[in-house]
Amino acid sequence: MKAMVLESFGGPESFELRDVPKPVPHAGQVLVQVHATSINPLDYQVRRGDYPDLVQLPAITGHDVSGVVEEVGPGVTTFSPGDEVWYTPQIFDGPGSYAEYHVAAESIIGKKPASLSHLEAASLTLVGGTVWEALVVRAELRVGESILVHGGAGGVGHAAIQLAKAMGARVFTTVREANFEFVRSLGADVVIDYQKEDYVDVIMRETGGSGVDVVFDTIGGNTLSRSPDTLAQLGRVVTIVDIAQPQNVIQAWGKNASYYFVFTRQNRGKLDELSALIERGQLLPHLGAVYSLADIPLAHALLESPNNGVQGKIAIAIDRRLSESIE
């Protein structure tokens, strides 16, 4: 099978398209013909060497799968050949999704929502699971509460806005002016141009000084360290970004705030919950760009570049028929 193999840590040129052995499913495993995957910040972090102790080179990376079951191993009862499925491979535990075939444990695989294409489904497994864990499991966002989503036009942010609205929250988000219309179409109530306005000032003005109940951070750095300034009493901060600098814990302490750090875990339950939202029309991934398997280095370079202009996710067509449709 064809696979994009990471030969060394470094830039996008570190990948090489190679022929590698097709995997074989063992007990409790499912062999999936991968139709599509997508690109996440985690992907370029792995590629450039942020987790050298967890990735053994050469490696097949990638963290989203949408495809069709080709074969099942002994003991598998949930799936049969021909089933359309979606999932996030176990992170840092075996080959990833930049390949024509992938083997995964039955327990982490879900049935693909029928209303989504493979490209759409593959763009949502990791970010959707991350957002669900962040807002539902950790922050426990409730109806009538307010939330600030940093980076609302991005892959994670655009899913977070939709999930927060589905949960009955008032949504604030920070984006560039060019993305105002996009995030409003997702349901954002208050849109803040972070290049022209101080988001702390806007939040306090719009909430009458009370602040928001939850901050969901996808940016890190100064954005995360200033987030407690926007919080209401008993507010919660949820971040998916590595902490690279000291945080404003004094301000957070004064708000009786809680902090949560999310590195998402794989399971079928979250996928089933996301499927229900999708089928009700409350969650729809947006594809900002589509590339082929051979062009994964180009996709990495685009996502990693500052102010890349991509709205939503960058999807990768693994199946040749999908690749031909985008040429």
CA 119 to chain centre: 14
Among 266, 273, 293, 309, which residue's Cα sits nearest to residue 20?
A: 293
Asked if the model's pLDDT at residue 258 lies above 90, the reply is no
User: Would you call 79 exposed, middle or buried from its count of C-beta atoms within 10 A (0-12, 13-18, 19+)?
Assistant: middle
Q: What is residue 48's three-state secondary structure?
A: helix
* Stretch 8-14: mean pLDDT: 97
* Stretch 58-76: mean pLDDT: 98
Query: For position 324, what pLDDT does the model report?
Result: 52
Quote the CA–CA distance of 65 and 245 in Å, as a whole number. Answer: 33
Please report which confidence band the pLDDT of residue 310 belongs to, taking 50, 70 and 90 as the band edges.
Answer: very high
pLDDT above 70: percentage of residues in the chain: 95
| 302: phi then psi, degrees, rounded to nearest 5 | -65, -50
**To the nearest 5 percent, what fractions of the chain are helix, strand and coil?**
35, 25, 40
Please report which confidence band the pLDDT of residue 266 belongs to, taking 50, 70 and 90 as the band edges.
Answer: confident
Q: What is residue 200's three-state secondary structure?
A: helix
Asked if the model's pLDDT at residue 18 lies above 90, the reply is yes
pLDDT, tens digit (0-9, with 9 covering 90-100), for 137-178: 999 999 999 999 999 999 999 999 999 999 999 999 999 999
Quote the CA–CA distance of 260 and 44 in Å, as a whole number. Answer: 23
The DSSP result for 297-326, as a single string, is HHHHHHHHSTT----SEEEEE-SHHHHHHH
Asked if the model's pLDDT at residue 326 lies above 60, the reply is no
Q: Is the Cβ–Cβ distance between 85 and 109 less than 8 Å?
A: yes
Please report which confidence band the pLDDT of residue 244 belongs to, taking 50, 70 and 90 as the band edges.
Answer: low
The DSSP result for 63-111, as a single string, is --EEEEEEEE-TT--S--TT-EEEE-PPTTSS--SSBSEEEEEGGG-EE
DSSP secondary structure letter of residue 212: E
Query: For position 226, what pLDDT does the model report?
Result: 86
DSSP secondary structure letter of residue 22: P
Please report which confidence band the pLDDT of residue 247 belongs to, taking 50, 70 and 90 as the band edges.
Answer: low
Query: For position 246, what pLDDT does the model report?
Result: 58
Query: For position 114, what pLDDT does the model report?
Result: 96
**Alpha carbon separation from 87 to 28, 200, 313, 323 (Å, rounded):** 15, 37, 16, 21
* Stretch 261-266: mean pLDDT: 84
The pTM (predicted TM-score) of the whole model is 0.93
Asked if the model's pLDDT at residue 314 lies above 60, the reply is yes
- Count of alpha carbons within 13 angstroms of residue 162, beta-carbon side: 26
pLDDT, tens digit (0-9, with 9 covering 90-100), for 211-227: 999 999 998 888 888 88
Query: For position 318, what pLDDT does the model report?
Result: 95
| 29: phi then psi, degrees, rounded to nearest 5 | -115, 160
Asked if the model's pLDDT at residue 272 lies above 50, the reply is yes
Asked if the model's pLDDT at residue 259 lies above 50, the reply is yes
CA 153 to chain centre: 12
Among 17-26, 199-208, 266-275, the least confident range: 266-275
**Mean pLDDT of the chain, nearest integer:** 93
* Stretch 232-249: mean pLDDT: 79
Query: For position 164, what pLDDT does the model report?
Result: 98
Quote the CA–CA distance of 5 and 8 in Å, as a whole number. Answer: 9
Query: For position 327, what pLDDT does the model report?
Result: 47
Among 73-87, 167-181, 245-259, the least confident range: 245-259
